[in-house]
Amino acid sequence: MKSIIKYIRREEWSPYIAGTLLGVVGILAVWLSNSLLGASGAFENLVGLAGQAIAPSLFDNMYFNYVMPPGITWGVILLVGLFFGGMLGAATSGTLKWGKKGSANSDEQWKTIFGQQTWKRWVLAFVGAIILEYAAGIAGGCTSGLAISGGMLLAPSAFLFIAGMFASGILTAYLIYRKRY
């Protein structure tokens, strides 16, 4: 029992154990809620909600009315859970960053490559997030909604997405890291 608690408190688990946990979560989502895990769709539901409140005529289109209706969906609650799950995970290993030094630019490897400036990290995180969300829209889902959820059902779309993701991810990392690749 003591060794189990000690393992839970570790900062990083074996990818096989963490992966098994997420696999079980994926099964339970289908079994209990007939739903698939996802994250990018929840951002659409939420932005539709905000958009229709702030600029109703702009957000009164086919997409927000029929394809991704705004609202507090199952996926939005899952997204809230993701937030608290990350918090719980970091809390068990004592690695929470709230109010700590380095929370604004959280990765040492990043600093080695791009420098210490926080604004650079924030600009690239912001631009990267926009690109990711748009790409997820085109592909039909993100790493969770398409790669994991589609993959576990053996949908061809998931494997096409994963192939594209790794091809351009490897190329981009190479271009950024060059000699340090």
Partner 1 sequence: MSTYVIALILGIAFGFSLNKAGLTKYHKIVNVFRLTDMAVLKFMMTTLVVSMSGLYLLRALGLVTFPAPPATYAVGNLIGGLIFGFGMALSGFCPGTCAAGSGEGKLDYLIPGLLGFFVGAAIYGLTYQQVFPIISNIANAGNVVIPDALDLSPLLTVLFFAVMSFFLFYLIDRAGLQRKKEI
**For the packed helices 156-177 and 118-139, what is the interaxial angle rounded to 10 degrees?**
160
**Nearest-approach distance from CB 3 to partner 1, in angstroms:** 16
Select the residue interacting with partner 1 from 3, 56, 63, 178 (CB under 8 A).
Answer: 63
Distance CA 7, CA 119 (A): 36
Please pick, from the candidates 53, 58, 71, 117, the single residue that binds partner 1 as defined by CB under 8 A. Answer: 58
Token pair for 163: 């192939």
User: Any idea which residue has 């990818």 for tokens?
Assistant: 15
165 lies in the binding site for partner 1 (CB under 8 A): yes
* Residue partners of 68: CB distance under 8 A and separation at least 6: 41, 44, 45, 48
Tally of residues, the chain = 181
- What tokens were used for 1? 């029992």
Least gap, CB of 123 to partner 1 (angstroms)? 7
Q: Which of residues 72-111 bind partner 1 (CB under 8 A)?
A: 74-75, 77-90, 95-100, 103-110
Q: Is 53 in the site for partner 1 (CB under 8 A)?
A: no
Of 1 and 31, the one with the shorter C-beta distance to partner 1 is 31
Question: Could you say whether residue 124 binds partner 1 (CB under 8 A)?
Answer: yes
**Interface with partner 1, residue 166, by CB under 8 A:** yes
